[in-house]
Amino acid sequence: MRMRIVFAAAFLLCSFGASILSDGHAAERTKLWSKMCASCHDGTTAIDEEGLRDRYPTVDDFTAAVLKKGNPCMNILKNDKKLIRKIANEIGIPATEDKK
């Protein structure tokens, strides 16, 4: 009887853990940029991914731009620096300027 409880607990733990892990992967694949920014930043409504990458050499520059220059319609994003930095990474902006 005791064994069965242990077994059941282990099973639950494993499947629960696996579901958390696979959720993580799913979230990684669904890029934040395409979910949260690309609809406006498509190169027509607003500057696109490539344009931003050219304009802002580092994550810090990019983050500052979102917080200071971002359109009022982006206000909802401006209290989440962590998110902005993540998105900067996603679209390939380096953390520090390349020393070529």
Task: Establish if 65 lies at the interface with ligand HEC (CB under 6 A).
Answer: yes
- State residue 47 phi and psi, 5-degree precision: -50, 140
Q: Using alpha carbons only, give the angle 59, 83, 26 rounded to the nearest 5 degrees.
A: 115
18 vs 69 by CB, closer to ligand HEC: 69
Instruction: Report d(CA 48, CA 87) in Å as an integer.
Output: 13
CB of 69 to ligand HEC, least distance (A): 4
Among 49, 52, 59, 93, indicate the residue that binds ligand HEC (CB under 6 A).
Answer: 52
Give Cα separations from 80 to 63, 69, 87 (angstroms): 10, 15, 11
Task: Establish if 69 lies at the interface with ligand HEC (CB under 6 A).
Answer: yes
Crossing angle of helices 59-68 and 81-90, rounded to 10°: 130
Q: Which stretch binds ligand HEC (CB under 6 A): 2-10, 12-20, 21-29, 65-73?
A: 65-73
Contact residues for ligand HEC (CB under 6 A)? Answer: 36-37, 39-41, 46-47, 52, 55, 62, 65-66, 69-71, 73-74, 77, 84, 87
